[in-house]
Amino acid sequence: MSVLHMSQIIGVVGSGTMGNGIAQVAARAGHAVVMCDVKEEVLQRGLSAIDKSLQRDVDKQRLTIEEKGGIIGLIKTATNLEALSGASFVIEAVTEDLNVKTELFKRLDRITPPDAILASNTSSISITKLGASPQSHRSIRKDRPRLPRFPGLYFKPRAAADDQRGDFCSLRRRRYAREY
């Protein structure tokens, strides 16, 4: 597996607490981000949360106002999943409902490039169960094979993270679904 290059787009589906946090981490690392949600007002709340979080770092002199502006400038928003058509890595952070997530992955499979990595930020659904659904990591189209693994991600709040890094979240690999 290759490293994700800075020129590649990271997609985040969901702009709630986890979704906007994931978008912030990716943008802070220098990646272009497309954050999708169902309504514009929900996206604006997510952007507002990111702005407030970054402002705390500006106030603590861990970030300059220019750096904050640059980070926010890397985050684009959309209410249409088609905006993720160029994403190399898409993380879902939607409601904890197996049917909602599997339907989302079915749609993402049709929209994203064949080599895009689709990942879940589920906290209550077995990543193995989610990964085993035919709409998740295995392409439903024969001409678009997906990678044989389906990553589940876990983000922990900043309070528990290493403060010297200044990350909103720290990422660790949770587990992978079985290979097919």
- Model confidence pLDDT, tens digit, residues 3-31: 566 678 999 999 999 999 999 999 999 99
**Does the pTM exceed 0.85?**
no
Place of tokens 């094979």: 145
CATH number of the domain within which 167 lies: 3.40.50.720
User: Starting at the edge strand that comes first in sequence, how are the strands of the sheet with 9-13 ordered?
Assistant: 75-78, 32-36, 9-13, 87-92, 117-120, 151-156, 170-176
Beta strands of 19-126 (E only): which ranges? Answer: 32-36, 75-78, 87-92, 117-120
Whose CA is closest to 175, among 160, 155, 153, 157? Answer: 153
Number of domains observed in the structure of the chain: 1
When pLDDT is cut at 50, 70 and 90, the band that residue 39 belongs to is very high
Range of the domain at 147: 9-176
Angle formed at CA 17 by CA 16 and CA 21, multiple of 5 degrees: 110
pLDDT tens digit sequence for 70-99: 999 999 999 999 999 999 999 999 999 989
Let me know if residue 3 belongs to a domain.
no
Let me know if residue 26 belongs to a domain.
yes
Paired tokens of 91: 């993380």
Let me know if residue 2 belongs to a domain.
no
Let me know if residue 1 belongs to a domain.
no
Let me know if residue 4 belongs to a domain.
no
